[in-house]
Amino acid sequence: MPFASVTWLKLSKPPDTDAPPMTPPMTPTMTPYLFYTLAGLAIAGSTLVVTRRKPVHAALALLVTLLAIAGLYLMLYAPFVAGVQIALYAVAVTALFLFVIVLMNLLLNQPLKLQPPSHSVLRFAHRDYSRVWPVGLAAGCGLLASFTYALVKSRTLFPDRMVSPSGSNTQQITTLLYGENGRPGQYILSLEIASLLLLVTIIGAAIQVGSSRSVIAPLKKEEPRPSVEDRDERRITNH
């Protein structure tokens, strides 16, 4: 045998080949542990997103959640969706949220500082949470309970089997989106609509920024001597 690994495989076989193996072939044994770890990370991260007071902490918890969900996609044999999740959600959207948090802190002239600790639960709730937050929390928990009840009761609806994918995942998705052998794909119209949506989004974002500049610009033109607030703002912006 030229390769050592092949020899190792032959040696690691059970001595009596008639006995059935302990696990069915090609079944990874680490899967439940990996699943529970990733699911726990996702749920803990999303809980932190909802409960943290500072939006920066919430954004970082959202990053952890999105990466854990990308890991779940990998476990579901969807590597292309996992890549899109990491590249688009975990990088772009989280960076966008961090950017807008910092920018709004600068615009509203509130430096990034730790807030004084709240002394009572009621003040904490009144400041960062909606006034009717128990109702919202109860609605969310009720929705979650009804979902879980329905899923557990309808467990027989979902077959335990999982069909193993055949062929390359990215190639299958591309065939569905763009087509194959000169024929258009099944979802090519949806793809065009999605790209049109992205184009409209870009134009809309540009128009929004232009309108906000038209709000700011005349104020600075009319006011040659800046007030104390504006000077502070400029100092923060120049940093």
How many chain residues interact with other proteins (CB under 8 A)? 103
The least CB distance from residue 121 to other proteins, in Å, is: 14
Q: Of 7, 8, 21, 31, which one interacts with other proteins (CB under 8 A)?
A: 31
Whole-angstrom Cα Rg for the chain: 27
Q: Which residues contact 14 (CB under 8 A, 6 or more apart)?
A: 21
Q: Please provide the size of the chain in residues.
A: 239
φ, ψ dihedrals at 130, nearest 5°: -65, 160
C-beta closer to other proteins: residue 1 or 162: 162
The least CB distance from residue 122 to other proteins, in Å, is: 14
By CB under 8 A, is residue 192 in contact with other proteins?
no
Q: Which residue, among 109, 115, 106, has the nearest Cα to 57 in the 3D structure?
A: 115
Tokens of 216: 């700011």
Tokens of 209: 């920024």
The least CB distance from residue 155 to other proteins, in Å, is: 6
By CB under 8 A, is residue 163 in contact with other proteins?
yes
Residues 42-81, mask of contacts with other proteins (x by CB under 8 A)? xx--xx-xx---xx--xx--x--xx--x--xx-xxxx-xx
Q: Of 8, 91, 123, 133, which one interacts with other proteins (CB under 8 A)?
A: 133
What's the first-to-final CA gap in the chain, in angstroms? Answer: 66
